[in-house]
């Protein structure tokens, strides 16, 4: 895909949604960190239902740490893998309190040192909470990047690096949100909704299927 096509793709995505936001509910970097940690292999809807009950009761490292694993588990038991997630969040809270003055770090190294925080989660926090140029590649973004031809790659790290290289600079900060929303609601896994897609005429998947 050439640069002109990519520019037009993101121009249209921006035009349709000038200020894209994550669908996870949060009001502080710490709430976002907890929500993203809980969202692994779970839907944002299920996480939001759980955190709507949790955050009014406990939304700081100290308050959640005070709940303990069992106390936190009671709030998040509707989410998949809640036992291991509760252990990770409690241990992450301890580290935040002891090493970071209860503040969420704004750098990758310290974020990825927290239990339950991998590269994708760190990228979400860096980009969404701290507005840094970072690209979190989940299943939706991986699919859209490969299917459309925007940034094809064999694994998530390869796609991440290509997106950071190929997405026009003016759109890079919000590209993560546009791509994830596009993958969630339009360029879905089994039957992409090409007929209602704003970038259908620019998409290499559409070109490929038309030529077959």
Based on the domain organization, do 105 and 123 belong to the same domain?
yes
Q: Are residues 125 and 36 in the same domain?
A: yes
Same domain, 46 and 115: yes
Instruction: Please report, in tens digits, the pLDDT of each residue of the chain (212 residues total).
Output: 899 999 999 999 999 999 999 999 999 999 999 999 999 889 999 999 999 999 999 999 999 999 999 999 999 999 988 999 999 999 999 999 999 999 999 999 999 999 999 999 999 999 999 999 999 999 999 999 999 999 999 999 999 999 999 999 999 999 999 999 999 999 999 999 999 999 999 998 865 555 44
Which of 31-56 are b and which e, b meaning 16 or more Cβ less than 10 Å from the residue's Cβ?
bbbbbbbbbbebebeebbebbeebbe
Domain of residue 11, residue span: 3-21+135-211
pTM of the model: 0.88
Q: Which residues are catalytic?
A: 120, 138
CB burial string 109-127: b at 16+ within 10 A, e below: ebbeebbbbebbbbbbbbb
**Residue 34 sits in a domain of what CATH number?**
1.10.340.30
Q: Do 142 and 94 have their domain in common?
A: no
Are both 59 and 140 inside the same structural domain?
no
| Cα–Cα distance, 189 to 153 (Å, whole number) | 17
Q: Say how far apart CA 192 and CA 65 lie, in whole Å.
A: 43
């Amino acid at each position: 895909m050439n640069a002109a096509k990519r520019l037009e793709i993101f121009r249209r995505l921006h035009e349709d949604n000038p200020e894209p936001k994550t669908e996870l509910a949060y009001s502080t970097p710490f709430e976002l960190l907890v929500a993203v940690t809980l969202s692994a292999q779970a839907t944002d809807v299920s996480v939001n239902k759980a955190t709507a009950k949790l955050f009014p009761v406990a939304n700081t490292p100290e308050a959640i740490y005070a709940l303990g694993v069992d106390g936190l588990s009671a709030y998040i038991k509707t989410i998949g893998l809640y036992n291991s997630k509760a252990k990770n969040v409690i241990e992450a809270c301890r580290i935040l309190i002891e090493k970071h003055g209860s503040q969420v770090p704004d750098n990758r190294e310290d974020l990825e040192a927290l239990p339950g925080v991998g590269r994708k989660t760190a990228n979400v926090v860096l980009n969404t909470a701290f507005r840094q140029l970072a690209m979190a590649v989940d299943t939706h973004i991986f699919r859209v990047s490969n299917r459309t031809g925007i940034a094809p790659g064999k694994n998530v790290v390869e796609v991440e690096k290509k997106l950071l290289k190929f997405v026009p600079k003016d759109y890079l900060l919000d590209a993560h949100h546009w791509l994830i929303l596009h993958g969630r609601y339009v360029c879905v896994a089994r039957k992409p909704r090409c007929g209602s897609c704003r970038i259908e005429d620019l998409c290499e998947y559409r070109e490929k299927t038309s030529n077959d």
